[in-house]
């Protein structure tokens, strides 16, 4: 199926725009770019597409308003810039969208909103309700208060998670480059563009470079990670140059531009996708080589006999990371036992659990239905 045929099945779209696309080099908002972006999204809305916009730029806008010479280095300075800039950013979006008769809603997310299962479901319901009402949600990380987001977060990853939450058909990443190339086009101007990626292999990951402009936090590696999250949830993703006139409509029309990442034909179920990408492991289980093979090759549950040790304290029902003896993360899953209980039954057969604990609610430490293999 070529792009034009694939686009006939697209209804819900997430569009991510980076700081470098909607701000000038000095941090001030690029009003011309923003107006062109809003016009394209409004026109998509007029074509009965449902659109979610994930927009960077709050810290950049704050930098401009505060007349800072460069991006702040300390967390408090970044929080100040984000708090000032977020109001500027959403005010401008609301003003521009209203000129086309569109209603917008602001959604500010933190890691906890994604990692806490109940809050995750509330966010999911909010997206569905807003889209049902014809509203354009505008999403950003809550950088003013979420310290971890400022240090570690990026909106490429956020947009992929939003795509999964909203069950989007397509994620469009508007970047300051034309797509994924065989080399960094800033260093090698003649680098060949890769038009289609059917699978994210180690070779594809090696092509990703570091961060781009001084105002943004993302680089190609974050886009590759975003592609992995999006495609495993059944969402196709495309990276295109956001400064190209009419680029969004070109994507919708099926033109062969940018780099297209094909969605997986058998995506993870929503709950398993959350376990794999939306959760923060409460601890780790180190397992032996036999357990690694059982999980990855035979799609088995994790039994106590394969567990070597626990790391960190965790409770029954929490998400834990399963790692090999060399420290490679093999899988994630919902544990049936606490770390204290696993410490007592590790290395034993399931039939021996009741002798040690005095009870045996489960034969498995983690059942296959509650486990997602990450190593292939």
Is 235 annotated as belonging to a binding site?
no
Is 155 annotated as belonging to a binding site?
yes
Tens of pLDDT, residue by residue over 50-96, are 999 999 888 888 888 888 877 787 888 888 988 999 999 999 999 99
Asked if 220 contacts 185 with a C-beta cutoff of 8 angstroms, the reply is no
Question: Where does the pLDDT of residue 146 fall: very low under 50, low under 70, confident under 90, or very high at 90 and above?
Answer: low
For 180-194, what is the mean pLDDT? 80
Tens of pLDDT, residue by residue over 193-230, are 999 999 888 788 877 754 444 444 347 888 988 998 89
Is 102 annotated as belonging to a binding site?
no
In the chain, the percentage of residues whose pLDDT exceeds 90 is 53
C-alpha to C-alpha distance for 15 and 229, rounded to whole angstroms: 15
- Hey, where are the domains in the chain? 3-268, 281-373
Token pair 């970044």: residue: 78
Say which CATH superfamily domain 281-373 falls into.
PUA domain (2.30.130.10)
Asked if 229 contacts 156 with a C-beta cutoff of 8 angstroms, the reply is no
Is 296 annotated as belonging to a binding site?
no
**Which contiguous run of DSSP H or E holds residue 50?**
strand 50-55
Tens of pLDDT, residue by residue over 130-139, are 999 999 999 9
Is 218 annotated as belonging to a binding site?
yes
* 362: Cβ contacts below 8 Å, ≥ 6 apart: 336, 337
Q: Please state, in angstroms and as integers, the Cα–Cα distance from residue 344 to each residue in 108, 191, 302, 353, 362, following that order.
A: 43, 56, 16, 9, 15
Is 305 annotated as belonging to a binding site?
no
C-alpha to C-alpha distance for 326 and 268, rounded to whole angstroms: 27
Give the residue among 334, 272, 284 at the shortest CA–CA distance from 310: 284
The pLDDT of residue 150:
40
Token pair 């799609």: residue: 299
Is 56 annotated as belonging to a binding site?
yes
C-alpha to C-alpha distance for 86 and 107, rounded to whole angstroms: 11
Average confidence score pLDDT of the chain: 87
pTM for this model (two decimals): 0.78
Is 46 annotated as belonging to a binding site?
no
Q: What are φ and ψ of residue 177, in 5° steps? A: -130, 170
Is 217 annotated as belonging to a binding site?
yes
Residues in the chain: 376
264 pLDDT more than 70 = yes
CATH architecture for residues 3-268: 3-Layer(aba) Sandwich (3.40)
C-alpha to C-alpha distance for 263 and 140, rounded to whole angstroms: 24
Is 196 annotated as belonging to a binding site?
no
Is 110 annotated as belonging to a binding site?
no
Give the residue among 269, 202, 195 at the shortest CA–CA distance from 232: 269
């Amino acid at each position: 199926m070529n792009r034009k045929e694939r686009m006939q099945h697209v209804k819900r779209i997430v569009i991510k725009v980076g700081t470098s696309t909607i701000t000038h080099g000095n941090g001030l908002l690029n009003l011309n770019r923003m107006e062109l972006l809003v016009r394209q999204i409004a026109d998509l809305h007029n074509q009965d597409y449902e659109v979610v916009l994930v927009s960077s730029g709050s810290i950049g806008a704050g930098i401009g308003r505060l007349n800072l010479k460069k991006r702040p280095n300390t967390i408090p300075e970044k929080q100040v810039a984000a708090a000032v800039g977020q109001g500027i950013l959403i005010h401008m979006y609301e003003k521009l969208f209203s000129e086309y008769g569109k209603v917008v809603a602001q959604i500010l997310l933190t890691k906890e909103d994604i990692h806490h299962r109940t809050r995750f479901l509330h966010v999911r319901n909010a997206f569905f309700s807003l889209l049902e009402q014809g509203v354009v949600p505008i999403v950003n990380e809550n950088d003013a208060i979420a310290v971890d987001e400022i240090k570690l977060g990026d909106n490429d990853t956020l947009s992929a998670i939003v795509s999964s939450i909203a069950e989007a058909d397509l994620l469009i990443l508007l970047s300051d480059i034309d797509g994924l190339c065989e080399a960094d086009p800033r260093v090698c101007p003649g680098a060949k563009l890769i038009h289609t990626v059917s699978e994210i292999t180690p070779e594809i990951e090696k092509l990703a470079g570091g961060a781009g402009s001084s105002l943004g936090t993302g680089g190609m590696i974050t886009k590759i990670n975003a592609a992995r999250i999006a495609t495993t949830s059944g969402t196709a993703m495309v990276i295109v140059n956001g400064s190209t006139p009419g680029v969004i409509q070109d994507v919708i029309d099926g033109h062969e531009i940018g780099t297209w990442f094909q969605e997986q034909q058998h995506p993870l179920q929503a709950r398993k996708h959350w376990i794999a990408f939306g959760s923060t492991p409460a601890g780790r289980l180190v397992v032996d080589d036999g357990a690694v093979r059982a999980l990855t090759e035979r799609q088995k549950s994790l039994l106590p006999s394969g567990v070597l040790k626990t790391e960190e304290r965790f409770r029954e029902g929490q998400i834990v990371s399963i790692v090999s003896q060399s420290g490679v993360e093999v899988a994630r899953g919902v544990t049936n036992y606490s770390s204290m209980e696993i410490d007592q039954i590790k290395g034993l057969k399931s039939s021996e659990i009741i002798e040690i604990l005095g009870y045996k609610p489960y034969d498995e430490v983690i059942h296959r239905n509650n486990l997602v293999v990450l190593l292939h």
